[in-house]
Amino acid sequence: MAKIKPPHDSGGHKKEYFPLKNEKEDSFHLQTADVSIDIGKECVKESRLSRFRELKVFSSLALYFLKKCWMTCSAAVFVIFVIYWCYGGIIAFVLFLFALSGFLFQVGDYFLYHPDQPPQSRLYVPLPSLFGLPAESIFLKTDDDVKIHAFFIKQDASIIGHVPTILYFHGNAGNIGHRLPNAQGLYQFCGCNILLLEYRGYGHSEGVPSEEGLYLDAQAGMKFLLQVPYIDKSKIIVFGRSLGGAVAIDLVTHSEFAKHVLALIVENTFTSIPDVAKAMFNSKLINCLPTWAFKNQFLSLKKIKRVKTPSLFISGKADAIIPPSMMKLLCRESGSPIKRLSSFEFGTHNETWQCKGYYRIINLFADDVMLAQREMQQWPCGFEGGGEIY
């Protein structure tokens, strides 16, 4: 083992070094002739900074809620005060708990949907032309009459009707312009058309995001593709990353849409929002909350059991937001007879698509599914009872 020697000072001044010195319990000092570092005080400072960050999060959350519902909050406080004055503290305490549950129910949107991150995402949506992609900017109407924005990226007219078309659902932040680098790779290496759908409340889309609203947005995108005359409607691939994975899973649980879907591809998605909350916050309060206490639930684990569409699960093992174990569980519980889990060792939550072999995995799975479909048409009895492809 190499020995570390004190630096030699060629000048006349010689710096003296001293060992760790313990002057009192749990307080250590590293000293030189010129510097003294109190490690105990530094730890206390770090602890205070951590508590300050937590306080900042909760205070910003409270301000957000007050800003959105200040009239309701004021009325609730007044009612609780009057009841406390007239009937005592027990009833007021019960009402306080009821109000707190309502508060937690409403702030689910604050934690889940981030259409303004990064800043100006509602104003500026990068165009496909910046990435050399031939695309059309379109607006669709949902069943509840909300106008949503989308980019329809098309292959050359000579092959547009023979290649797969991907219906792409993005994550919980930003806009579809931020997904164009990934769409460029799908366009070039997978040779497909891509409909990049922008949820309500995101980018140039109207409305406010909600769980049911996002489901309606997905259905609007699927209905649009089924009306396009020049694409092969038997080769529609539904793709979703993170939050988009939950939206994609819900879409293929509807038989009227699933029958047109060649394959389902989900990437770094979750089993449910309550499961994500418990994993992220690791709080006894959160762990005790029932599922109905969450405004947004996205119960993908429950829905994936009803999915019969061939499914590819792409998981980044370095994902620090969604535990990769959730992807394994979704794959295991999937009701599809054809399913595959592909993991990337260094794949992070938003950058797994940059890993080597990413587009090759998608191409191989799509080819396997089309081959399996042809074989099922030729020898249908050989596939009775289903079989799994891993």
Rounded to 5°, the CA angle 209-305-343 comes to 80
Annotated catalytic residue, options 29, 114, 349, 368: 349
* Contacts of 176 by beta carbon, 8 Å cutoff, 6+ apart: 125, 149, 150, 151, 168, 170, 196, 197, 198, 202, 203
Annotated catalytic residue, options 319, 334, 336, 342: 319
User: First-to-last CA distance in the chain?
Assistant: 48
Whether 8 sits among the annotated catalytic residues: the reply is no
Residue among 12, 42, 9, 46 nearest 27 (CA): 42
Whether 342 sits among the annotated catalytic residues: the reply is no
Per-residue buried b or exposed e for 286-307, using 16+ beta carbons within 10 Å of the residue's own CB: beebeeebbebbbbbbebbeeb
Residue with tokens 């698509």: 353
Contact 165, 192 (CB under 8 A): yes
Dihedral class, residue 82 (left if φ above 0, else alpha if ψ from -120 to 50, else beta): alpha
Cα dihedral sign, 13-14-20-22: negative
Whether 114 sits among the annotated catalytic residues: the reply is no
* Contacts of 359 by beta carbon, 8 Å cutoff, 6+ apart: 185, 186, 189, 190
Contact 326, 269 (CB under 8 A): yes
Annotated catalytic residue, options 121, 210, 242, 272: 242
Which residues make beta-bridge pairs with 150?
138, 197
Rounded to 5°, the CA angle 233-251-167 comes to 50
Residue among 303, 307, 311, 297 nearest 267 (CA): 311
Helix (H) or strand (E) holding 263: strand 261-267
Give the active site residues: 242, 319, 349
